[in-house]
């Protein structure tokens, strides 16, 4: 929790410094420090107690003092001073497509725009196009981008929301007056976009719990809605709703707080009043509740899909894949391209997860922005992998994330044929016509050396939309060519979506769940990819990285 608030404030300082026009060295220092603190595996408060902050490379005495101040007070003087010069709401303008620091300063100084709402108002009135350097077309593009950002305001992707929810859960569990706590709602259902964090707690002192919450630096406001609900606002924008209940009603409250509104309504329609009144105090978990109402257990991920109720009544639910079924991760990056860790460090982290195998799939030569590997560098990487395979208790497969270019793949077939894993992906030409983008993807799927199509639609959650593709045609071609479709577990992607997974599964596709990790911590995102698979009705046998290593090699050799 401390790491999150320090990182958030450092991000704000960095952006306000950009708007102010401060020297680049100072901006980079805050940017690096923010990333370092966010990625720490230990609470920064522990480092403060041990006087070890400056042992972190990139954290000098000045930054260390700011970190201490933030942990103690929830803010720091450097941030407060900047906030007096420039409204922190200006930072939101930097997310607008086509708007950089110079335009933000122009908007603020010339017509007083200080947030997304006022930017929209001025764009609608035509005031922007009266400014130098901005014409009607640019104004319209800005307005479209602002509308999108406003529709996503105070929403987080699943990874950010779940990370905050888990930290809150761990923190609140430490309150002496709290007996039980569970994360429910959209996070438990593994929705890709979260607009509210929902928690159920059992506490013997509701007022004391509220006061304890108010002390959290991430919390900006706490209010009591009624005798059983606390509402809190966070400095990340997203709200928190906490349902309070007694020990005897805990699992009942978890049960009804997990499903969507429509889902719960349909459940109530099949539960008579007499049974519903008895769903109290005798249940040790949700499985017992489902058994009591005459249904097999329905996993939380399916409790917004009304079909699951009908299939439950017919005892026709899937035997859903579980995280423990995953035997390896076949899409991650290392320092050879744009990853943060060495191959050995990634391998050791995979070993700790109990994986039998992994694959390093660094970017290829065309993606220069990601330090893509030339064929010679790729072969040098193979030598390192061969040496590691002699010493580590995990099989490292040699792979590459090969760019799908306009008319070819980024490596020739003679190189592709020597790889254990070939992942093909689009990293350019996102706005190609449907005919062109489909032609590129079809070309990749038809290549006999390509095993996996990575993040197949190219969408970014709360960001870029999907390519203009014919999804069903893509799936049929993948099935025809025995190409595996990736469920990219990065919360920024979750590509394929669960709806697409369900459709592709019905058509007969095979899947793999990969993290696309660029650092060790991102390997933990596998849980979100598994969540997508579960929402998409997949079972263990539908996903190839549930195979043992020998089975996997045999499958890939087909």
| Domain boundary assignment for the chain | 2-151, 155-258, 261-317, 323-556
Mean pLDDT of 343-363: 98
Number of H helices, E strands in the chain: 24, 14
Same fold, 2-151 and 323-556: no
Mean pLDDT of 25-49: 92
Which band of pLDDT confidence, cut at 50, 70 and 90, is reported for residue 541? Answer: very high
Which band of pLDDT confidence, cut at 50, 70 and 90, is reported for residue 464? Answer: confident
273: pLDDT strictly greater than 80? no
The residue with tokens 């197949």 is 456
User: How much is the pLDDT for 255?
Assistant: 96
Give me the torsion for CA of 229, 235, 236, 238, rounded to 10°. Answer: 20
Q: Token pair for residue 527?
A: 């849980």
Query: pTM for the full model?
Result: 0.93
Which band of pLDDT confidence, cut at 50, 70 and 90, is reported for residue 270? Answer: confident
In angstroms, how far is CA 531 from the centroid of its own chain? 12
Domain 2-151 maps to which CATH number in 2.40.37.10, 1.10.3210.10, 1.10.150.110, 3.40.50.261?
A: 1.10.150.110
In angstroms, how far is CA 502 from the centroid of its own chain? 20
281: pLDDT strictly greater than 70? no
Q: What is the radius of gyration, based on Cα positions, of the chain?
A: 25
Which band of pLDDT confidence, cut at 50, 70 and 90, is reported for residue 280? Answer: low
Residues 6+ positions from 505 with CB-CB distance below 8 Å: 511, 536, 537, 538, 542
User: How much is the pLDDT for 460?
Assistant: 95
Query: By the 8 A CB rule, do 364 and 372 touch?
Result: yes
pLDDT by residue (tens digit) across 489-504? 999 999 999 999 999 9
d(CA 541, CA 172): 38
- Domain 155-258 in CATH 3.40.50.300: no
How many CB atoms neighbour CB 126 within 10 A?
10
Specify the 3-state DSSP secondary structure of 237. Answer: coil
248: pLDDT strictly greater than 90? no
Distances (CA, A) of 447 to 415, 481, 491: 13, 8, 29
Residues 6+ positions from 542 with CB-CB distance below 8 Å: 321, 505, 510, 511, 533
CATH fold group of domain 323-556:
TIM Barrel (3.20.20)
């Amino acid at each position: 929790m401390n790491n999150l608030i320090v990182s958030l404030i450092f991000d704000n300082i960095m952006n306000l410094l950009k708007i102010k026009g401060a020297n680049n060295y100072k901006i980079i220092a805050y940017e690096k420090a923010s990333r370092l603190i966010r990625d720490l595996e230990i609470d920064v408060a522990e480092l403060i107690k041990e006087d070890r902050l400056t042992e972190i490379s990139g954290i000098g005495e000045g930054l260390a003092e700011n970190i201490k101040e933030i942990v103690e007070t929830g803010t720091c003087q450097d941030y407060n001073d900047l906030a007096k010069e420039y409204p922190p709401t200006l930072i939101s303008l930097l997310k607008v497509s086509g708007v950089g620091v110079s335009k933000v300063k122009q908007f603020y100084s010339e017509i007083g725009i200080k947030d997304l709402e006022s930017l929209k108002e001025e764009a609608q009135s035509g005031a922007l196009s009266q400014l130098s350097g901005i014409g009607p077309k640019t104004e319209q593009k800005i307005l479209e981008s602002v509308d999108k950002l406003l529709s996503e305001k105070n929403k987080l992707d699943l990874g950010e929301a779940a990370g905050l929810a888990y930290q809150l859960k761990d923190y609140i569990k430490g309150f002496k007056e709290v007996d039980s706590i569970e994360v429910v709602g959209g996070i438990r259902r593994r929705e890709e976009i979260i607009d509210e964090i929902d928690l159920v707690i059992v506490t013997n002192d509701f007022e004391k719990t509220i006061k304890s919450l108010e002390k959290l630096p991430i919390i900006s406001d706490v209010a009591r809605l009624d005798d059983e609900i606390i509402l809190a606002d966070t400095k990340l924008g997203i709200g928190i709703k906490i349902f309070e209940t007694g020990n005897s009603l805990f699992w009942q409250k978890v049960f009804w707080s997990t499903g969507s509104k429509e889902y719960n309504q349909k459940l109530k329609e099949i539960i008579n009043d007499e049974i519903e009144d008895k769903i109290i105090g005798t249940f040790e978990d949700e499985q017992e509740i489902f058994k009591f109402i005459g249904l097999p257990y329905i996993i939380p991920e399916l409790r917004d899909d009304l079909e699951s109720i009908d299939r439950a009544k017919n005892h026709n639910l899937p035997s859903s894949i579980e995280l423990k079924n995953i035997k390896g991760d076949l899409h991650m990056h290392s320092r050879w391209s744009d990853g943060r860790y060495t191959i050995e460090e990634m391998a050791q982290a995979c070993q700790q997860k109990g994986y039998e195998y992994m694959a390093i799939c660094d970017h290829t030569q065309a993606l220069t922005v990601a330090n893509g590997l030339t064929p010679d560098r790729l072969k040098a990487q193979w030598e390192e992998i061969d040496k590691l395979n002699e010493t580590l208790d995990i099989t490292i497969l040699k792979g590459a994330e090969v760019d799908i270019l306009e008319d070819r793949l980024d490596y020739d077939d003679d190189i592709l044929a020597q790889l254990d894993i070939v992942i093909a992906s689009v990293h350019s030409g996102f706005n190609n016509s449907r005919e062109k983008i489909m032609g590129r993807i079809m070309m990749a799927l038809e290549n006999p050396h390509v095993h996996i199509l990575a993040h197949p639609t190219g969408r970014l959650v709360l960001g870029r939309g999907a390519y203009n593709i014919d999804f069903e045609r893509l799936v049929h071609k993948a099935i025809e060519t025995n190409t595996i479709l990736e469920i990219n577990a990065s919360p920024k992607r979750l590509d394929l979506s669960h709806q697409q997974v369900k459709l592709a599964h019905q058509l007969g596709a095979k899947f793999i769940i990969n993290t696309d990790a660029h650092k060790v911590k991102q390997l933990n995102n596998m849980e979100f990819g598994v969540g997508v698979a579960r929402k998409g009705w997949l079972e263990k046998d539908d996903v190839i990285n549930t195979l043992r290593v020998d089975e996997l090699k045999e499958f890939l050799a087909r």
